[in-house]
């Protein structure tokens, strides 16, 4: 099938770069990957994967903690800060993103 339509997208540059890196390893151009995605939407009648919020582990999910449990976690966090057990947020997030 001939490709005759142009699709212009604005995306987060780092997300795009990570996707391009993976697609390059797979030998798939970005345009082909997007075409595959659009075909899957047509075939399944929706987004071809579940779109849900990530589930927080119970050990850190404040929504299911009692007030006492939450208070203890906060106290431990403050104690860690006072003891110097801290990380630069930008560096911590960079490491986290590498694992995605």
Q: How far apart are CA 87 and CA 37, in angstroms?
A: 38
How much is the pLDDT for 1?
A: 62
Per-residue model confidence (pLDDT) at position 72: 92
Domain range annotation of the chain: 13-44, 62-98
Distances (CA, A) of 88 to 50, 54, 75, 100: 33, 24, 20, 19
pTM beyond 0.85, yes or no: no
Query: Which stretch, 36-45, 57-66, 68-77, 88-97, has highest mean pLDDT?
Result: 36-45
pLDDT value, residue 39: 96
């Amino acid at each position: 099938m001939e490709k005759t339509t142009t699709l212009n997208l604005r995306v987060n540059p780092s997300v795009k770069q990570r996707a391009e890196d993976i697609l390059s390893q797979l030998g798939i151009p970005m345009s082909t990957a997007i075409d595959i995605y659009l075909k899957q939407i047509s075939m399944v009648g929706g987004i071809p994967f579940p779109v849900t919020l990530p589930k927080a582990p119970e050990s850190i999910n404040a929504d299911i903690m009692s007030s006492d449990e939450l208070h203890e976690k906060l106290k431990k966090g403050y104690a860690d800060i006072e003891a110097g057990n801290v990380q630069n947020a930008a560096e911590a997030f960079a490491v986290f993103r590498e694992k995605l």
